[in-house]
Structure 1
Amino acid sequence: MSHLFQTYSRWNINIKKAKGTIAEDENGKTYLDFVQGIAVCNLGHCPDAVADAIKKQLDDVWHVSNLFKNDLQEKVAEQLTNHSTGDLVFFCNSGAEANEAAVKLARKYTQKTKIITFKQSFHGRTYAGMAATGQEKIKHGFGPMLTGFHYLPYNEPEAFQTLSGQDDIAAVMLETIQGEGGVIPADREFLQEVQAFCREKQALLIVDEVQTGIGRTGKAFGYEHGGLSPDIITVAKGLGSGFPVGAVIGKKELSEAFSPGSHGTTFGGNMLAMAAANATLNIIFEKSFLEEVSAKGEFLQKELKEKLQFPCIKEIRGKGLIAGIECEAPVQPLIEDLQKDGLLVLPAGLNVIRLLPPLSVAKNEISEAVEKLNRVFAHHSSVKQ
């Protein structure tokens, strides 16, 4: 009997050891891991530079309080602001916390309450996160949601015409690639329309980079591909190489809304998390590293589209090292067979296989993963015939 709440439909795999792209279960079976904690271990499992930084910090100090100065927080904040449109950072523990803080910051700064998000979006499982999410299935059974959220169709610029007479909008919140919603990249035209709308309505632009940030798309942040200048950026997942950490990055004019006592966290920005984040960003934010990610992302898309030629596949899409394979039917049987063949991948909804290799993945590992996908798709296609 398990003593855990059964909030997850867990796979029957117990990972006991992992390094880089390879994970090993309790039976000694190895897997090519294209899950990486759901886009968390961007440098692969247990990267040496991050491990060394955490070990060193363990011998100094783990946690004090945010009532004290924290030089490590300043270092990580400087890295985040130097590579984004933001000027100031608030550290927390997760993407959901970051999005919760972003909603609070937008409402307090604008003194307006309505926030526009998009259908099929995902912004976390706190009450503000659920309310912002454009998927009813995650809200079922939890009673009334936080009010003030309005959902538009994603990738449809003309949808903003329905809001032309409304001036009480605090912010528009979006993902530049909807990850949980099916790995759906935003069109540049759509992103530009969102930004123009925000400027017209004097609303803030919030970009949720929890899954696409920290190098995942081949740039420091996914919004860079769309030519955006967000007022608020939320990050987490890849920021700490597996150590729990999140952040809100905002423009300097927002500082008046987050004054002393307006928001807080006990554990956010603690010394161990900052040591992990600083070491992670030292590597990922290097120009040459991001250029390699971009090149490997193009290689991944090319391999998938050239090698996976099956009628059951509707579309292959993505950017950088996040890819989605949309199928005609539910993908869970494919995912289970891929696990048997030593490849770990994720669903993104019922019909999409999601690939999230580490940014440090080698091209031959990408080719190996595509070969495993080809083998499993071929098997399922032959069985159906």
Structure 2
Amino acid sequence: MSTADYNRLFVPTYNRSGAPMVKGSGVKIYDSENNEYLDFGSGIAVNALGHCHPLLHEALLHQASELVHASNLYFTEAQIVFAEKLIKHSFADKVFLCNSGTEANEAAIKFARKWAKKISPQKFHVLSFSEGFHGRTYGALGATSQSKFHMGFEPMPQGFHYCPFNDFESAKKILDSEEFAAVIVEPLQGEGGINCATTVFLRQLREYTHKHSIALIFDEIQCGIGRTGTLWHYEQHNVIPDIMTVAKPLGGGLPLGATLCTEEISSAITPGDHGTTFGGNPLACALGTQILDTISDPVFLRRVKINGAWLKEKLVDVARKYDIIESVRGEGFLLGVRFKDNPQHIVQQCRDKGLLLINANLNTVRFLPPLIVTQEEINSAVGIFERVLSSL
């Protein structure tokens, strides 16, 4: 499909080209011209179990034959089962279900502000960090520090502040200057260029926010649900937030997000404060239950750690050979290769040779394979990547 065809049909919010994708199996996806690709983008970290996983297919068929939608005016069994599993496998006491990561962050910001205003009417400010990305609706966009996403959509909502990532002293100066409701941070930044928060930084934020009655929000939309080798990335730092937002792989490919929070935060919310028509849809929740059951298995997570380390080692070996590469970053299967210059042409050439990768900020190329990827498939993907680099 040409760019002209795309622009004829769609609002041009993406740069898309090539034949439409029509089917997938495991780590592989195929277009209408029968080209085969190793999908190391996983639908932007969504397809954690790859394409057309039999367990998800079975769960989808079963739920579709029972109930697809009933609205949040009523309980649904699939939603209750799913919410109980989210709580069982996390720090949370309560869950709000929505459709996406952006919506999860919108809810998190609203919940934090409503809770904080019980303490003081002026306690509404929100702090986030450089290179962070929290979504494209106005609240989530306001919390996103990257100015390129703001251009043309100003003014941003009031009360949002930014400071350097991993710099607690700068954060403290800002936090001391206003009455803050929340601090929102990605423990491992995805869109921003695969930047890891230090344990010390997260612990300093936890100590400060607890002392000053500020909600600490962890955005694990990209780094959560097994992608870094533990079910939640916060487990690797032993730092527990007040609110956590998750989405992407949560619904097995269907739109599903969640805002997880403590009882204290939840107690500030009353009926009518927030809502969603489709959030917690029974079909998505049925897949979400299967996702959690599968990925929370310690054997599954151990395999992610082992194979993630294998991929990182292979990428580090490649990086040693090419001085256009600055570093290899990340954990598990949330990895990035940072180049000294814009790598868009490398991403395109990899696609031409059958490997799908995704750009990120700071000249970084993300490797986000399905969590079921094998070492053989990793070797094939890295082989394509290195052949492209050697041809430059």
TM-score normalised by the shorter chain: which range applies? Answer: over 0.9
Aligned equivalent of 2:120:
none
Ranges in structure 1 where 5+ consecutive residues have no aligned partner: 381-385
Q: Offset of 1:150 from its aligned partner?
A: 0.7
* Aligned partner of 2:378 among 366, 379, 383: 366
Aligned equivalent of 1:383:
none
2:35 corresponds to which letter in structure 1? K
CA deviations over 1:238-289 (Å, ceiling 9, x no partner): 1011111000000112222222221111000111111111111110111111
Q: Offset of 1:160 from its aligned partner?
A: 2.6
Structure 2 residue matching 1:324: 3-state secondary structure? strand
1:259 corresponds to which letter in structure 2? T
Aligned equivalent of 2:139:
128
Q: How do 1:19-98 and structure 2 match up within 5 A? A: 19-98=25-104
Aligned equivalent of 2:350:
338
Say if 2:338 and 2:362, in contact at 8 Å, map to a contact too.
no
1:353 corresponds to which letter in structure 2? V
Structure 1 residue matching 2:267: 3-state secondary structure? helix
Q: How do 1:1-385 and structure 2 match up within 5 A? A: 1=5, 2-111=8-117, 112-163=123-174, 165-166=176-177, 168-308=179-319, 309-349=321-361, 351-380=363-392
Structure 1 residue matching 2:372: 3-state secondary structure? coil
Structure 2 residue matching 1:257: 3-state secondary structure? coil
Q: Matched residues in 1 for 2:150 and 2:175: separation?
A: 28
1:208 corresponds to which letter in structure 2? D
Change (3 A) 1:37 1:164: closer
Say if 2:189 and 2:196, in contact at 8 Å, map to a contact too.
yes
Q: Offset of 1:119 from its aligned partner?
A: 1.1
CA deviations over 1:92-126 (Å, ceiling 9, x no partner): 00000000000000000111201110011100000
CA deviations over 1:212-257 (Å, ceiling 9, x no partner): 1111111111111121111000011010111110000001122222
2:381 corresponds to which letter in structure 1? A
Q: Matched residues in 2 for 1:315 and 1:153: separation?
A: 20
Percentage of matched positions with identical amino acids: 41
Q: Offset of 1:163 from its aligned partner?
A: 3.0
Say if 1:314 and 1:326, in contact at 8 Å, map to a contact too.
yes
- TM-score, scaled relative to structure 2: 0.95
Q: Offset of 1:350 from its aligned partner?
A: 5.6
CA deviations over 1:169-195 (Å, ceiling 9, x no partner): 111100011111101111111111111
Q: Matched residues in 1 for 2:269 and 2:79: separation?
A: 17
Q: Matched residues in 2 for 1:74 and 1:374: separation?
A: 47
Q: Offset of 1:164 from its aligned partner?
A: 5.8
Q: Matched residues in 1 for 2:346 and 2:171: separation?
A: 38
Q: Matched residues in 2 for 1:228 and 1:327: separation?
A: 31
Q: Offset of 1:143 from its aligned partner?
A: 2.5
Q: Offset of 1:67 from its aligned partner?
A: 1.3
Say if 1:331 and 1:350, in contact at 8 Å, map to a contact too.
no
Q: Offset of 1:63 from its aligned partner?
A: 0.5
Say if 1:239 and 1:277, in contact at 8 Å, map to a contact too.
yes
Q: 9-18 or 142-151: which moved more?
A: 9-18
Structure 1 residue matching 2:9: 3-state secondary structure? coil
Say if 1:312 and 1:327, in contact at 8 Å, map to a contact too.
yes
Say if 1:160 and 1:197, in contact at 8 Å, map to a contact too.
no
Say if 2:333 and 2:369, in contact at 8 Å, map to a contact too.
yes
Ranges in structure 2 where 5+ consecutive residues have no aligned partner: 118-122
2:357 corresponds to which letter in structure 1? V
Structure 2 residue matching 1:144: 3-state secondary structure? coil
